[in-house]
Chain A
Amino acid sequence: MSDLTFILKEKPKFTLDMSPIIPEKLSGLNQTKIKKIKLIYGKESLDVGELFEISGKAGECISIEKSCDKLICVGKNMKKGSITIKGNVGDLLGQSMNRGTITVKGNAGSWVGTAMTGGEITVIGNVGNFTGAGLPGDTFGMNRGLIHVHGNTGDRVGDQMRRGMIFVHGNAGDYCGSRMHAGTVVILGQVGKYPGDSMRRGTIILAKKPKHIAATFKSCGNLKMQFLRLFFTQLSEMKTDFSVLNKFGPLTHRFLGDLSRNGKGELLILQAMDRR
């Protein structure tokens, strides 16, 4: 059975709220009914059929093609199945998603995986700011789940994160892991200023020394962290993409903080070596 495919007819002028297009809401619907689903477009509502060409049958998998950055809230509140997006996508990708997988073969906007409580988001390109963060007013950011970014991220990745993991192959902006409560952020590229600002707990693993570390982080020195052996081994088993960590050893420069918040979070700056 082919995936239910939505092909965008033309790039919208305004933002298009895609939150109704998730597997559990479309399950059991035929194409006629799907075409009549209303999507919020700017200040008005439009039928899906006016915006997308649809093919395939509703099931666990959805594919969105010729996507662009005006499509927001893709996979919002998703609880099962998978969504594959070919092209770029806008803000709030996978907001509050609970299970399932979202794959973006392009770039994504800001607030990727905000308030997510499970599932997995993979972005092959770059993402904007506040990846895995909470929305303004929220107490926590993402709470379980995995955000996997192959490109770069903007500022404040993992802001207020509660649980889960964000793995970035590229660079990250300033204030990476700010206000973290727990969870793990891994950045393999260059990180901007003030990583871990105001973090209380959690782990930020950096492959390169950040541009600036706040004075409220105290160095524990260069240490061999047993945890990293476990972490690298388990991640390599999870996904082959993570086996890139195998070039790093357990030797790391550890910083604890943020002491301005009496924090017990950690910044681990990896050092490449033979891990055995």
Chain B
Amino acid sequence: MKINGVQIDNNFAEAFPMKATRIIVTAMNLKWAYRAANALRGFATSVIACGVEADIEKELKPSETPDGRPGLSLMIFAMSTKQLEKQVPIRVGQTVMTTATTACYSGMESDTQVSMGKSLRYFGDGYQISKIINGKRFWRIPIMHGEFICEETTGVQPAIGGGNFLILAKSARQGLTACEKAVDAIKKVEGVITAFPGGVVGSGSKVGSKYPFLSASTNEAFCPTLKGVVKTELGPEIGSVLEIVIDGLDEASVAKAMRIGIREVCSYGPKNGIYRISAGNYGGNLGPHLFYLHEILK
């Protein structure tokens, strides 16, 4: 299969089950909402070592937020609800609450819930106030800039992590130019995030390592500098490989994001140094969600 002269490998991306939550961060203006959101999603690129994967899903108009202020919706993915229960209060407490004028609300309805204000309220040292409005409990924590409002819990739902595709390009500069466009297009898909910096992975990994203490290590088959030394997947024309990893709330949204992203990358074509699209998989051993490139691009 070829799109605009770019070869699409007959390969599949292997994704795995995760748990996801969505939170809404509002602030005096979008600038400060972004400050909080960027702090929260910092060091949340991969569950391999960060605990969670998180990113901004989209901007919200004042009419779309619980308190009528501008805000952002963020999604946080983890391998288990327990992990989310640990990470969400810590991240909201240390990043959103510490950002001036912010408030934090749940953006997902579900029977399964993880704490937010329920844990953070103790920061109020006895001066916190609980309010139930429209059936939802909010905590008002007095803080130095005024009051931090935080919903008691946020919903959790099953999700999918690790949807991906690889961009095999002539150079890193050319690959990244195409990837940036692809990430911008993926951002328009609801229910998905690309948690890595800029949405692009510069150091894609394989499972395991020669070192027993390491659960993931460099994917040498796709490293251009190791061509000729290892069993490589790269032809002589490939000088750089980038990866876009997509986490989503369901298979359909991940597949849609992959399709849109791949088509955007392919629009650059071989003229602009984009030669091949492949996908990362582990022989079907890692997860039950297999995204065959040829199928999703039909």
Q: Which residues of A contact B (CB under 8 A)?
A: 144, 163-164, 182, 184, 201, 203, 223-227, 229-235, 237-238, 264, 266, 275-276
Within B244-275, which residues are at the interface with A (CB < 8 Å)?
Answer: none
Kindly list chain B residues whose C-beta atoms are within 8 Å of the C-beta of A233.
Answer: 65-68
Which B residues touch A235, using CB under 8 A?
Answer: 133-134
Q: Does B138 count as interface, using CB distance less than 8 angstroms?
A: yes
B129, A234: Cβ atoms under 8 Å?
A: no
Interface of B is mostly: strand
B73 to chain A, nearest CB (A): 16
Judge whether A231 and B131 touch: CB under 8 Å: yes
Contact assessment for A227 and B134 in the assembled complex, using a CB-CB cutoff below 8 Å: no
Whether A229 touches B69, Cβ cut-off 8 Å, given contacts A223-B146, A224-B146, is yes
Q: Are B103 and A230 in contact (CB under 8 A)?
A: yes
Which B residues between 203 and 254 are near A, CB-CB below 8 angstroms?
A: none
Taking A227-B129, A233-B68 as known contacts, 14 extra A-B pairs with beta carbons closer than 8 A to each other, sorted by chain A number, are: A164-B132, A203-B129, A225-B147, A226-B101, A226-B149, A227-B149, A230-B103, A230-B133, A230-B149, A231-B133, A233-B65, A233-B67, A234-B134, A235-B133
Is A238 a contact of B103 with CB atoms below 8 Å? no
Q: Which residues of B contact A184 (CB under 8 A)?
A: 131
Query: Could you tell me if A227 and B147 are in contact, using CB atoms closer than 8 angstroms?
Result: yes
**Total contacting residues, chain B, CB less than 8 A:** 22
Residues in A whose Cβ lies below 8 Å from that of B129: 201, 203, 227, 264, 266
B residues 125-163 in Cβ contact with A at 8 Å: 126-127, 129-134, 138, 140, 146-149
The docked-state distance in angstroms from the alpha carbon of A230 to that of B130 is 13
Determine which of B66, B130, B147 lies in contact with A234 in the assembled complex, contact meaning CB atoms within 8 Å: B66
Residues of B close to A203: CB separation below 8 A: 129, 131
CA distance A144 to B131 in the complex (A): 11
Query: How many angstroms from the CA of A235 to the CA of B66 in the assembled complex?
Result: 10
The distance in angstroms between the C-alpha atoms of A131 and B171, with both chains bound, is: 74
Within 8 A of A (CB), among B80-116: 101, 103
Whether A238 touches B134, Cβ cut-off 8 Å, given contacts A224-B146, A226-B149, A230-B103, is: yes
Given known A-B contacts A230-B67, A233-B67, A234-B66, A163 and B132 have beta carbons under 8 A apart: yes
A-B contact pairs, 9 of them (CB 8 A): A144-B132, A225-B147, A229-B68, A230-B149, A232-B68, A234-B133, A237-B134, A266-B129, A275-B68
Q: Taking the nearest CB of chain A, how far is it from the CB of B150, in angstroms? A: 10
Contact, CB under 8 Å: B133 / A226:
no
